[in-house]
Every structure is written in structure tokens, then in C-alpha cells.
Structure 1
């Protein structure tokens, strides 16, 4: 008989609300309940699929100080699995390493919380391949060394499944936690590694199937896109298949709206509305950040009246339901001809900035220095905002500079028209 389980990580119960949610009471309610809703959906998935186990690879909580109300919610949800005969296996990660509640809360007998010493737990099965679950929790929030040597050796003749919280080979947006290389995991003798910590989903095939499921519920626009858990099947012959299943109750998305060639304000609003309508599919709330692009004679007006654009977009979102507009950005470029720019001081200034400032090495050096100083003050999870490598860093810096220039020019043009 095949062995089937759900693998998740980084649920981050009790994660604090981000600033965007605090600006909108209804959105605050949605985002504030989203991590709990994700756990409920994960349990629902386990029950619907009648799996044999749930594996949680760390960061179940967001921090050490967790409310008893949330803890009781967790106990109730895991109790639903207990009643269905589905055991749960949990390790602690860097965020919940010091959580007293995960250590002291009385959970159902079917819940196995691994401690700071590695354990290997064999599963009693009537038929099918023998299964052994391995786990090791963080003792402290920091784990600078590789944990793989501390794990119990694989049990011969069984399908060994390891739970590990790790930054794997490293990530620009995450500090190194229990770093381990993919080849090391592949050569470990384990058949499946259920990882946690990195919030972006990744799957690696090989001698061992290695899966980082990512965060099941995004918390802000920097965790945009589809979020999911893994439904894993171990066949009688030991073959492993992985299915991605969505459980998020709210999804963040960056949506580009091309306004190239749009001359009329009402046409621009209509195009934005159509882009929002395309975001309403699915059984989740949508939270979108709109980015207006393309060359249009409306570029200056769009930039200086973004508050009006956002109001129009929010009206559409309210009509559609279950949709929120988090922010509107404009990267539109003006449609200008030589006739239009001749004698236009703002347009001439734009040309001078483009040729003499943005293209110059002095400006690039100053901007790079300022950005690096800013990055030093950011928490690790936000450092990826400036890109994952040197080329992406340069692109982000260029985009920020041009955005700033366009905003200043739009203000100047508005003042001139007044």
C-alpha cells in the first residue's frame, strides 16, 4: 500500500501584520487570519486526501511569544487529524526554536515534536514499504553549522524521510541557517528530504527527492504568487511523486497594465479594470500591486494623479469582491516628438538628466553607495528587494533612479501647468 503525506513548512502562525494591512481594516482582517486559514486548509487537504501523515518542517510559529489563543487553535486543528488517525511530525526552526508553547502545550498523542537531538521514528504499517521519519529541531534561533552529520543514519531496507530546517545552499534574501549542499542530501541514503526555511518553492530530483515547499501563505507583496504545500506519494516500489497543492486564502500578485498608445483617461481606467477582472479566479482573496507601463501621452498625468488611479482601481476591486489594491505604481513613459519637446523646459530637462546624469559614472557610484548603506540596515528577509546578483542589483538601481526622475519631472510639469 502506498504511503502518502502532506509536507509543509513556514506557516508562521502569529506573524505580525505588515503595514499594508494596517491601512485597510477589511484587508487587516483577511491577512491577520490568513496564516490560520492556511493551516485549516492544510488539515482539510490531509482529511480529504486521507493521507498517512502531516510533516511540518519548522517555523510553525513566527516567534517565541505566541498567544495561548493561537496555541489552542493549533491544538484543535491537529486534534482533527488525531481523530482521523493521521499523525503529525514537527520540527522547530529558527523562528519557533524558543517557543515555550510548542514545548509545553499538550498536543494530541499522534503529534511527534522532535527535540534538539536527532531521532528516527519507524512507522507501524500493515503493508507497503517500511517508513522511517527522521527529525532534528533547532535548539537556538541561530544554527550556523550543517546539521546533517547529527542525523541518525538511514535504516536499511526502509524508505527514510528526513525533516530539516535549512537555508540549503544559501539565499541572498536569507542568512545561512544549518547550511547543507544538495549533493550532500542526495548522497545521504534518504529517499525524501522535507525541508523548510526558504519561502520560495523548489524541487530537486535525484537519489533523494529534495523539496522546499515554500511558505504556504504569503504575508506581503514580497511573497507574491502562488503558494502551496506538497502532497507526496511513496509507491510500493519506493518511487516518489510530488504534487503541488494550493492552500492560501489570500494571494499577493504584481500585475502589469500596458497603457501603450492610450490617449484617453477613461480608456486607461477601463484597461486597468480588465486587468483586475483577470485576477478574480480561484477561491482566495486577491491583493494586487498594479504597475502601469508603456508609452502614452497620459504618462505625466498618471504619475502625478496616482491617488486618483488607485481610487478608480479600488472601486473596481470593490465591485468584483475578494480583491484589494495594495498599491499603484507608474512606469509609463511620455509620448513625445521633437515638436512637442522644442521649447518645453521640462522635456529639455528630462533629456539633460538622461544624457548627462543617469548615464554618468559619478551618479552610478553615488547611487550604489547609498543603496549599499540602505541594504545594511534592512532585515535579512528584505535584502532581496535589491536583487539576487550584481546584474539584478544594477537593474533595480536604474529602475529606482528613473522612477525618481519621472516623479520629480511630473511635479515640475504640474507646477508649470498651474
Structure 2
């Protein structure tokens, strides 16, 4: 048997109400379409999806229609798409048919979902083409069993899963992560809990974590494979290899080759603006560093950017507003989507003798000096503006001036 093993496609993912919403939405379908095309070209016996075909359980009708369009070449070529449900595919109202079930009933996928016994065990009934349901399907003598996401207690289910399997030449589709391998924090089992699967299944097709990895038995034999997501789904995945496995099984011997996909470029960087005394100086440094960052990219598609602004500066960090930064980015990198995290801090001008006692008046002047000097527009005029601020404060507290007199103070006429 030859098959493609992919997972975590996340169809329907996008950035809502953002300028790049439509283009980002298309990325995930483009990625799946390429895998489908490869499956047809390679004339594989099946395409296996290890869960999270969709980004959410309650997808838009247009997402369902586009999924059918994308999977149609598989159906036309007679290549079955065998899938399980991931944690993103589930719908909360189990009295309603899910989109995965609908795809299965329409013949675009074979959704594997086991039955449960009264004692809590598993029962993998053969897949029924008419109902589009079942827990087990036979392709070329290889018995494929499917088990979707069952949460953090997955490790305690391994023995029951293996006990329910009575055939030889077995493969398991399982949406679960393995601790120390998987980058996600929930829905994992420990490696020693997973190892017994190797005694029943010659290939365990994993999903859930978006980083590819291979799990080996204590003696070093690989048995479980996680391809990760073929497209970059979230920031933090910029360093992961992206792709799927092209697998052949012959006489119990497994050969799994990782095939690279072409996800949209994603860049995450810290932009150090430390030492900048004015907002304009910081903007020049920001532009220079972003230009250096994007210059390293060879992909001409608009990138996804996550930028963290760091360093101590001599102006208030709020002066670098998001709109100002985004406008600069549009000129430099034309990103499809950008997220900016402002972690700048303001340089304090505390005196060396921080423990010296100060009068209330001196403390007031120091605080005002810091506040006024934090603005690029007012630097160099701190003494003048601090004096004016205190003058206004005193006049208001006395209560013997009206509005016109206060305006006269601001105009310098009452100084």
C-alpha cells in the first residue's frame, strides 16, 4: 500500500475583517489542493488526514463547498480520503450532523469513528459506504483503524484500543500528541503510554501538533509519525518544516518520506529600538531593521509578520502607535498580516542618590519632568512646561481665576 499522510489542514482559517482576509483564507485550500494533486500524480492508494481538516467545527457554507471542490480530483481518480476528527473538527451540539459526517455521507471522505462498548472498550465496526460511518476500513490488505481526538486521557485508552484490534497488517489514525515531541500543551500522551501501539500497528498516523516528528520505540524503531500542518497556522510555527509523509508499506516494512510543502512566509522578530531619544529616531531604526528582515526572504508572497518592539527609549512608547507602524510596514514589506507587540520601556532619569529625601514639591517637579520629557515634541522644553503646569495647578487650586485667565497663562500672557 502507498498513501499520503497529512494532518491539521485547518480549512477556513483566516484573519477576520483584515485586509488580507481573503488571500489568507485561500492559503489553506491551495495547500490542500497541492497535496491532492500530488496524491493523484503519485497514484497512491489513499490520502489519510489525521484530524483538524477544518479550523472550527461550525464552518461557513462556502468553506464546505470549497472543500468539496478541492477534494473532487481525489474522488474522480478513485482515491479514498480517509479521515478522523481532530479537536478543531468537533461541534458542540452532537444532535446535529457535523460537516465531517456530511462529507463522509457524500463520499468525499471516509470518516472513521469507533463505537464504544458498555464496559468502556472500543469496537471498530467496518466502514459502511451507505451511512458513511465506521471505525475500520481495509485497503489492499492493510487494515486502517481511526480514532479522533479523545483528550488528555488518551494514554489510558491505549490498552483498550489494542484489545479491540484482531487483524494483522494494521494502521492507526489517531489525533493525539506525544509528550516531548509535540509542541502543544494539551491532548498528549506520554511516550511510554504510546509505545504499546507499536505491537499492534505497523504505522501510527498522528495529528494534533503542527511540528513534524517521528516517535520511536525504546530500541529505536520508528512507528508513529506526525506530519505537522502543511501550512503555517499560527505564529510560532515559522521555524517548523512543513509538509506531509509519502508512505509505502510492503511486507510489513514501512518507508515514510517527508515531502516539503510551500507555506506562506512567516517571520517573527524582536526589533530593538533601545537608545532612541525621539519617536522619529525610533521609526528610522524600525524601518531599517524590518528592511533587513524581509531582505532575507526569497518568496515573493506577502509575508505574515509578528514584531516585538524591545528596548529602553527616551520618549513615551505610546508615540509609536500601531497605525504609524503599520503604515511604515506597508511601504517596506507589504505584509499580508502583521501583529505588533510593544514591549518598549521608558528610560528613567532618577538621580544617583535614589534614597535621598525629597520634598513633595521636588517629587512633583521630578514626576512632571519625566512626563513632559517622554514626548518627543516637548523634549528640550521640560523646565518651561513644568513651570507652566505648576502655575496652572496653583491657579486652579486657589479658585480665583476664570477660564480666560487660564488661557492667558497658556498663551504666555500671564507668565
Query: Under a length normalisation based on structure 1, what TM-score does the superposition of the two structures give?
Result: 0.64
**1 CA distance for matches of 2:89 and 2:318?**
45
Structure 2 residue corresponding to 1:201, chosen from 195, 212, 237: 212
Q: Shift of the alpha carbon at 1:83?
A: 1.8
> Mind listing any 5+ residue stretches in structure 1 that lack a counterpart?
125-129, 335-345, 354-408
Structure 2 residue corresponding to 1:84, chosen from 77, 88, 93: 77
User: Residues 226-375 of structure 1 correspond to what in structure 2 (within 5 A)?
Assistant: 226=240, 228-234=242-248, 236=250, 238-248=253-263, 250-257=264-271, 266=284, 269-279=287-297, 281-282=298-299, 284-292=301-309, 299-301=313-315, 303-307=317-321, 308-318=324-334, 323-327=336-340, 329=342, 346-348=348-350
Q: Do the aligned residues in 1 keep the contact of 2:10 with 2:54 (CA within 8 Å)? A: yes
Q: Shift of the alpha carbon at 1:197?
A: 1.9
Root-mean-square deviation (CA, aligned residues, Å) is: 3.8
Q: Do the aligned residues in 1 keep the contact of 2:9 with 2:28 (CA within 8 Å)? A: yes
Equivalence for 1:362: none
The structure having more radius of gyration, on CA atoms, is 2
Q: Structure 1 residues 287, 60: closer, same or farther in 2, change over 3 A?
A: same
Equivalence for 1:187: 196
Q: Do the aligned residues in 2 keep the contact of 1:41 with 1:247 (CA within 8 Å)? A: no
**2 CA distance for matches of 1:276 and 1:324?**
14
**2 CA distance for matches of 1:29 and 1:201?**
27
Q: Structure 1 residues 289, 62: closer, same or farther in 2, change over 3 A?
A: closer
Q: Structure 1 residues 58, 352: closer, same or farther in 2, change over 3 A?
A: farther
Higher percent of residues as helix: 1
Q: Secondary structure at the match of 2:58?
A: coil
Q: Secondary structure at the match of 1:95?
A: coil
Structure 1 residue corresponding to 2:231, chosen from 214, 217, 237: 217
**2 CA distance for matches of 1:142 and 1:101?**
21
Equivalence for 2:132: none
**1 CA distance for matches of 2:108 and 2:178?**
29
Structure 1 residue corresponding to 2:4, chosen from 3, 6, 9: 6
Q: Do the aligned residues in 2 keep the contact of 1:317 with 1:324 (CA within 8 Å)? A: no
**2 CA distance for matches of 1:76 and 1:290?**
36
> Mind listing any 5+ residue stretches in structure 2 that lack a counterpart?
92-96, 116-123, 125-134, 356-369, 382-415
Q: Does 1:168 align with 2:194?
A: no
Number of residue equivalences: 326
User: Residues 360-399 of structure 1 correspond to what in structure 2 (within 5 A)?
Assistant: none
**Which deviates the most, 4-13 or 141-150?**
141-150
Residue-by-residue CA offset, 1:375-416 (whole Å, 9 max, x unaligned) = xxxxxxxxxxxxxxxxxxxxxxxxxxxxxxxxxx78862286
Q: Shift of the alpha carbon at 1:123?
A: 1.6
